[in-house]
Structure 1
Amino acid sequence: MPSSGEEYLIARKKQIERRRKIVTIVSMFSFFGSTVFAIIPAIQQASQPKPATASASPESLLQQQAQGYELVLKREPENLTALEGLVNVRLKLKDTQSVIAPLEKLVKLRPDRSNYKVLLEQIKKQQTKSNQ
């Protein structure tokens, strides 16, 4: 016949084992529940049709870039990077009339760069040809 001390230890072990099982079950439910709550919105978002976004035309993107360079030049009128960027964007837009002013400024700021001078001369020749 087991003594009262042994009965207590056996009862205590059973009680500890039940608590472990409960904690394990609660932990598993919590883990799987949090996983489900993370996955469901992702699945819903993937299953919804995406609205068609109006993609901007390349020309409008170039115009936005030109406006950005112009804003920089208002703050820093002698910013070489912004001047070069503005010239390149306006050349891509084939806006030769508005290329002349920033290109002349580049020639003044960087007289050592002959490619600016050559480009300015070419654009001015095109302007005179188109005006005739």
Structure 2
Amino acid sequence: MKISQPKRTRWVYIGVILMLLALISFSILPLVSSIAQEARVLNGSSSESTQAEKALETRALGYQLVLEREPDNQNALEGLLEVRLQQGDLKKAIEPIEKLAQLNPQQTDYTILLAQAKQQVGDYEGAIAAYRTILASQPTDIQALKGMTELLLAQNRGGEAVSLVQKTLVEAIKDKAAKTDSVEAVNVTSLQLLLGEIYIEQERYSEALAVYEQAIKSNGEDFRPLLAKALILQKQGKNAEAEPIFDRAVALAPVQYKDRIKKMALGASDWEKKARAN
């Protein structure tokens, strides 16, 4: 992945990511991103920090004793995981996550969390293996695909990321057309958006636009490909072309996203001035 990008390119990229994720539900995934925050809580005064650390280690020992007797006790595993995250010790958190993922193969959140944790500690191949475990049985799982492609991009393996999403998209469209699978239009659109996101990261804007055009034609009621197309046109300085597309995206978007899209279209400062004037 590129270390730096022009400011406007980064704005387009962030905007597309926000809208891609808008309709995806995450349950326990924020646990990994909260590790730093949890660790900071422990870094108050030295005495308070020491007491908190001792209390957490006592809790961890209690859960470990339970697991020695009942290695599949999910309450103890979840408790130990919570403690390790509060301690900011991601390496020690991996063991209970792995066990929870094994015990709950249909609950992909644990496997995605495992992949994220392994990525954070630098075990990239382990992270990829975790994502592949999910994709082997659920090839259109957008959370796993997004995590997998971000990891590949971070390793400068953009070609593999494109190939993976292209192949998945082709199969999803075939299944949808043949009605052999319960692939909803929003899932196909999300795959198209993910492919476009990868193209944007590689600054392949014409290819991203082509993907978004296909998404708009096949699912005209989804605001996300419209927004993605408008953002690219805006980045290219084609504001006159982008403006009506932004308007269509606003009209179709759920209420909670309308103001955000307007800010993207006008620029946050201009929108705030306009809002105050009204």
- Bucket of the pairwise TM-score, normalised by the shorter protein: 0.5 to 0.7
Tell me how far 1:57 sits from its aligned partner: 1.2
Within the candidate set 94, 105, 108, 1:111 is matched to 105
Q: Shift in Å at residue 127 of structure 1?
A: 0.4
Query: Which residue number corresponds to residue 60 of structure 2?
Result: 66
Matching residue's letter, 1:72: V
Q: Secondary structure at the match of 1:78?
A: coil
Which residue does the alignment assign to 1:82?
A: 76
Q: Measure how far apart 1:58 and its partner are.
A: 1.1
Q: Distance in 2 between matches of 1:125 and 1:79?
A: 26
SS of 1:92's equivalent? helix
Partner of 2:162 in structure 1?
A: none
Is residue 100 from structure 1 mapped to residue 99 from structure 2 by the alignment? no
Deviation of the 1:101 alpha carbon: 1.3
The corresponding residue for 1:38 is none
- Structure 2 alignment gaps of length 5 or more: 1-46, 124-278
- Which SS does the other structure have where 2:114 is aligned? helix
Deviation at 1:113, TM superposition (A): 1.7
Cα distance in 2 between the residues matched to 1:120 and 1:88: 14
Aligned-partner Cα distance in 1 for 2:122–2:106: 26
The corresponding residue for 2:119 is 125
Quick one: distance in 2 between partners of 1:115 and 1:58? 29
> Over residues 60-118 of structure 1, what are the superposed CA-to-partner deviations in whole Å (9 max), with x where a residue is unaligned?
11111000000000010100000011011101101111111111111000112222112
Offset at 1:119?
1.2
TM-score, normalised to structure 2, is: 0.26
The amino acid that maps onto 1:66 is A
Secondary structure of 2:121's aligned partner: helix
What is the CA–CA distance in structure 1 between the aligned matches of 2:64 and 2:52, rounded to whole Å?
18
- 1:114 corresponds to which letter in structure 2? T
Partner Cα distance (2:104, 2:75) in 1:
12
Distance (whole Å) between structure 2 residues aligned to residue 95 and residue 105 of structure 1 = 17
Q: Which runs of 4+ in 1 moved over 4 A?
A: none
Q: TM-score, structure 1 length as denominator?
A: 0.53
The root-mean-square deviation of aligned C-alpha atoms, in Å, is: 1.8
What corresponds to 1:27 in structure 2? none
Percentage identity across paired residues of the two chains: 45
Which letter does structure 2 place at the counterpart of 1:78?
Answer: D
Letter in 1 for 2:116: Q
Distance 1:100 1:66 in 2: 14
